[in-house]
Amino acid sequence: MKLVVLISGRGSNLNAILDAALPVEIAAVISNRPTADGLTLARRRGIATHALDHTQYPNRADFDAALMALIDNYQPDGVVLAGYMRILTDAFVEHYSGRLINIHPSLLPSFPGIHTHARALAEGVRVHGCTVHFVTPQLDHGPIIVQAAVPVRADDTPDSLAARVLAAEHQVLPQAIRWWAAGRLVVQNDGRVNLRDADGSEQALLIYG
Ligand code: GRF
């Protein structure tokens, strides 16, 4: 399975994917921010990289069109949003419909959008976490593949909670890709994802300390 990975920052989720030695080819890593540390990380690991600076485009549609053209040069089977912080146009999402996944740092549908850890603490939730899902035009929405539940501690700050959630992300994103590459993710008509041939040991939910 050939993948293109989109990033915006440090690329810790990209690193987790690469460390997982998955049966996939990461054909390229593309960042909307030229200074993203994840580009350096990818280059060091011999992966083709591109920086497509979104500030150089007059609007979101033009940027996404250029991004699609760049991605399609690689003809990937799938596109992974790994810490990619740009809102995608419907045209982009529809172009990669069924072939586009995202990792989001909350238990969707709770806390779509940004600052999820501070919002979770402000709401006093007892459990937080992260979600890998297929991307649909609605922001941070779409068929859920796998989630990790992370208990909230009384002394948590947004940073301490974010650190534990990030560690959980690094478990569930490679897991989702492993299942995806094995052709085991089936999006049912009701929009829910079925993990084909799952045995009792494989959970689409991970409880993370
Ligand atoms: C992660 O929390 C991810 O869920 C969010 O961006 C953060 C940074 O990701 N979308 P990374 O370290 O750049 O992979």
Question: How many domains is the chain built from?
Answer: 2
Inform me whether the pLDDT recorded for 206 exceeds 90.
no
* pLDDT over threshold 90, residue 89: yes
* Terminal Cα distance for the chain, rounded: 32
Q: Quick one: pLDDT at residue 87?
A: 93
CA of 37 to the centre of ligand 1 (A): 12
Give me the CATH number covering residue 163: 3.40.50.170
Q: What per-residue confidence (pLDDT) applies to 13?
A: 98
pTM of the model: 0.95
112 and 74 within one domain = no
Sequence-distant (6+) residues with CB within 8 A of 147 are 107, 108, 129, 130, 131, 132, 172, 204, 205, 206
Q: How many CB atoms lie within 10 A of CB 21?
A: 8
Does any domain span residue 140? no
Query: What is the distance between the alpha carbons of residues 60 and 151, in angstroms, rounded to a whole number?
Result: 37
Where does ligand 1 bind, in terms of residues with CB under 6 Å?
Answer: 7, 9-14, 38, 82-83, 103-105, 166, 169
- Mean pLDDT computed over 77-92: 97
Asked if the structure places residue 41 within a domain, the reply is yes
Catalytic residue among 50, 95, 104, 128: 104
| Ligand 1 centroid to residue 107 C-alpha, Å | 14
Residues in the chain, overall count = 209
Which residues are 127's β-sheet partners? 151
- Mutation probe of ligand 1 site: the residue of 13, 33, 111 with most atoms within 8 A of C-beta: 13
